[in-house]
Structure 1
């Protein structure tokens, strides 16, 4: 049995971080967590580009452009959608999730989602580093692992066909 897994060694990898400005109290903490995780795993600051978009709904369009550029081994999506008193939350959360998933299937690089969908600001703050770890850091670690396993999968020879 051959098992392929991505490592968390990121030396030499290039990363793009696409972050929404809306709910910046949260998204800036996610960005700090992602940057710290990338650094700790070996990515040089010069090999990380940060792209900002207005809000989480706009994030997948920018993520698609960045991931399709061919310049990065990984692209990390960071945003925060917090429930309010209208159905707006459901629409934004659902469409953003679908958009990021679609980009991840089409991209030539690893794509990780660090987008919070929380009921309250307190929940979002907890997930952005106050109590329950930092979901930006977790997304960065997932992107590193995925980038490495995708690289290994790209080295596999074509399957032999039995006729």
Structure 2
């Protein structure tokens, strides 16, 4: 067995409860993507793979808004505004924070993560957090480069599936 989630989205066999499961049909849905420019050689690839995943799963170009911000720390304020607009079925936030010699990276990861969770709960909107926190540039490249194998692609799939679940329980 591998790490993470399987590709199959299905009900759990042998459980008699009403089960709500999503799917990867992005058609008819609207998505917002917020991308940090800091470490843009990596964040650009996260954004590209998220966008490609949304399109591959039925989202139209005109239903995807992408907003660039200077760094990960600026993501929550823009996510708050986009969530408050009521225009989106899900938001995806993308950034890369590489650990340095100080605690700054951990502070960025902790504060942005909590802020993004608060926004999702306050607005009852899926906000998928893929601000990738890593210890080295090599770890960042492993998570950000490679199309369907990136955290950007995963974030888009999670956004679609969670938005579909929200529609069913809404």
Cα shift at 1:83? 0.4
Equivalent of 1:18, from 28, 31, 34? 34
Q: TM-score, normalised by structure 1?
A: 0.90
The 1-side partners of 2:50 and 2:63 are apart by 13
Structure 1, unaligned runs of 5 or more: 155-163
The alpha-carbon distance between structure 1 residues 48 and 132, as it changes in their structure 2 partners (threshold 3 A), is: closer
Find out whether 1:94 has 2:94 as its counterpart. no
Equivalent of 1:43, from 39, 59, 66? 59
Contact 2:130 2:152 in 1 (8 A): yes
The 2-side partners of 1:86 and 1:49 are apart by 34
| Aligned residue in 2 for 1:126 | 142
The 2-side partners of 1:143 and 1:43 are apart by 12
| Aligned residue in 2 for 1:161 | none
Q: TM-score, normalised by structure 2?
A: 0.87
The 1-side partners of 2:72 and 2:84 are apart by 19
Cα shift at 1:129? 2.2
Q: CA RMSD in A?
A: 1.4
Cα shift at 1:132? 8.9
| Aligned residue in 2 for 1:58 | 74
Structure 2, unaligned runs of 5 or more: 1-16
Q: 1:3 is paired with a residue of what secondary structure?
A: coil
The 1-side partners of 2:84 and 2:34 are apart by 13
Q: How many residues align?
A: 154
Q: 1:93 is paired with a residue of what secondary structure?
A: helix
Larger deviation: 12-21 or 102-111? 102-111
